[in-house]
Amino acid sequence: MSSADLADRCSLAHLMQRHLRDRPDALAIREIDGEAELTWTDVHDLGLAWAGALAGAGVSAGDCVLAMLPNSAASFVTWLGSSYLGAVDVPVNDAYRGAWLDHVIAKSRASVAIVHADYLDQWQEVITRHSLSLVVVGGDARRDDTVSGTRIFAAELFLDAAEKIAEPVFGARGDIASVLWTSGTTGPSKGVMMPWGQWWNRVVDSNYLPDVSQWPDAVMYQPWPVFHVSGRESFYRILVNGGSLRLRRRFSTSEWLSDIRRENCDWTYLVGSTPRFLLDQPARADDQDNPLKLVLFGPAPREIEEFCTRFGVEHGVTSYGLTEVNNPLNSLDYRIDEQNYWSCGKLHPNRRIRLVDEAGRDVADGEPGELLVLDERAEHKIFSGYLHDPDATEAAFIDGWFHSGDLLRRDEGGHYAFVDRRKDAIRRRGENISSFEVEAAVNSHPDVVESAAFAVPSEIVEDEVMVVILRAAESTLSAAELRSYLEKIMPKFALPRYIEFADDLPKTPNQKVRKSVLRERGITDSTWDAVAGAEAAPQPTGA
């Protein structure tokens, strides 16, 4: 069968057929801190049951089905159930409530939501404002009542009362498989409509990992939220490549290595500051004694060589991507080390991109430019647009290119480096400053765990640079000491004037810092001011 024919057989229903034929009794999913342990036959049967129950609730092809579920087997079998009807899977960030939850319910126009009992209070706050007919509740076997016309019905009762469908719907490459929401760091979340062809492109045509299909029995360790594209992808990837999943509801620094050993895991993702947290754990002589072959870092840490050596990791890779267009950049053809860790990869041979200035002109190597990605909607290789938001879709595509809003820089060797979100860039006294590069410098101090740099208003003109910092445990690092350290490694124009220490940073659950929250809060009574040499008085906030 040709690659084009395979790409036409890329829905979950298509991909399940091979597993049901070749390995029906093989383990597909196990919850490390839960109860589920499912073979491929179990997964299929549960998918048919959910499809039948959803059909009985009035769901049909093309309808959105909302799902707010923890990282669990249920999050994948419910996706399978929706797909077996030709319905659209819409996972929802489990931190959403109030106006955030109102927004995704209204945008989806869904009539049915599947919600774990742990999150039900968030839904009961907003149900009266929407026309949901049914909320199916997992984790509460007895629930059956009605709130403002919305039936709230236990999942067990919901499935028991329904009949399995006889045959699944085999979706076409251009059919919408999922709607995943953008992080909402700069405004209301947008629903990214992902067709089956885009999922296939992500895992096969534009693959950003070493060929894990060479490990047909590979075990993936997956402790990340399933409403994020990488968490959702884990199920699709084992359907394509084989292997199985080990799920932990939330990432745990203390349990990470023991989980991987006990479950014999071959590969995993690490995001944000998690590699640093793991390195900060007390070293043991047997740290290398584990089966881990591959780690995908997002982004690669400065200490990647130390990490891979300590934990015996054969392949440490990174990539750059967006939910809308997958991952056009990756590090597959070179080894990451302390000299090139800053790069998010080279261009995948199957992708076309440009870096342009504000006038739309291609920039030279070494100059930052906004990343544009070729519009491949006609081939269903990227997203199909934003759900019920034609204006945002039109604004994103100009002259045949998707405008990412991200600034990147390319060097002469073809390595790309992320510079900043265009909206997060800082301009101080005629100089453009990358908040990402400021953070990299700040994070290089051994007492800094993580930082967020952003613009605050200057009393003169343009911006001043402020950083909010998480210190290492028991550190006594002062703002003045940090500033003195930075003066030796940063250009003067980029030095942060304002420094503040905090116990945490406001984040989305997929670990992106919500800088809009920090900008809105601005300078506080506890902010250190390098100009005053003391705490700054509160000043007007905003970006």
pLDDT for 219-256, tens place per residue?
999 999 999 999 999 999 999 999 999 999 999 999 99
Q: How confident is the model at residue 76 (pLDDT cuts 50, 70, 90)?
A: very high
272-282, pLDDT tens digit by residue?
Answer: 889 989 999 99
How far apart, in whole angstroms, are the C-alpha atoms of residue 250 and residue 227? 13
**Per-residue pLDDT for 538 more than 60?**
no
How far apart, in whole angstroms, are the C-alpha atoms of residue 328 and residue 325? 8
Q: What DSSP string runs through 353-387?
A: EEEE-TTSPBPPTTS-EEEEEE--GGGTSS---BT
Cβ neighbours of residue 18 closer than 8 Å, sequence gap 6 or more: none
- Count Cβ atoms below 10 Å from residue 43 Cβ, excluding itself: 24
How far apart, in whole angstroms, are the C-alpha atoms of residue 401 and residue 386? 15
Q: Which residue has the tokens 């809308």?
A: 324
Residue type, 190: K
Burial of 299 (0-12, 13-18, 19+ CB in 10 A): buried
Dihedral sign computed on CA atoms, order 286, 443, 347, 508: positive
Residue 137, beta-bridge partner list: 115, 154
- Find out whether the peptide bond into 299 is cis, omega within 30 degrees of 0: yes
Q: Angle 4-60-43 (CA atoms, 0-180°, nearest 5)?
A: 65
133-178, pLDDT tens digit by residue?
Answer: 999 999 988 899 999 999 999 999 999 988 889 899 999 999 999 9
Q: What is the mean pLDDT of residues 201-206?
A: 94
Decide: 294 and 210 in contact? Cβ < 8 Å.
yes
pLDDT at 491 (0 to 100): 74
How far apart, in whole angstroms, are the C-alpha atoms of residue 66 and residue 114? 6
Decide: 350 and 309 in contact? Cβ < 8 Å.
no
Percent of the residues in the chain that have a pLDDT greater than 70, as a whole number: 94
Residue type, 24: P
Distance, first Cα to last Cα, the chain = 54
Q: What HEC string does 453-516 produce?
A: EEEEECCCCCEEEEEEEEECCCCCCCHHHHHHHHHCCCCHHHCCCEEEECCCCCECCCCCECHH
Q: What is the mean pLDDT of residues 178-191?
A: 78
470-521, pLDDT tens digit by residue?
Answer: 999 889 999 999 999 999 888 787 899 999 999 999 886 556 788 878 988 9
pLDDT at 536 (0 to 100): 43
Burial of 210 (0-12, 13-18, 19+ CB in 10 A): middle
| Helix (H/G/I), strand (E/B), else coil: 111 | coil
pLDDT at 532 (0 to 100): 84
Element (H, E) at 137: strand 134-138
How far apart, in whole angstroms, are the C-alpha atoms of residue 366 and residue 288? 38
Give whole-number Cα distances, 349 to 155, 329, 383, in Å. Answer: 45, 9, 19
How far apart, in whole angstroms, are the C-alpha atoms of residue 208 and residue 420? 21
How far apart, in whole angstroms, are the C-alpha atoms of residue 257 and residue 234? 19
375-386, pLDDT tens digit by residue?
Answer: 999 999 999 999
**Per-residue pLDDT for 4 more than 80?**
no
Which ranges in 330-434 belong to alpha helices (H)? 390-396
pTM above 0.85, yes or no: no
Decide: 495 and 480 in contact? Cβ < 8 Å.
no
In the DSSP assignment, the letter for residue 34 is: S
Residues found in the chain? 543
430-439, pLDDT tens digit by residue?
Answer: 667 778 778 9
Q: What is the mean pLDDT of residues 259-273?
A: 94
Of 37-41, 177-181, 325-329, 416-420, give the lowest mean pLDDT range: 416-420
What is the pairing mode between strands 112-116 and 64-68?
A: parallel
Q: Calculate the average pLDDT of the chain.
A: 91
How far apart, in whole angstroms, are the C-alpha atoms of residue 26 and residue 216? 12
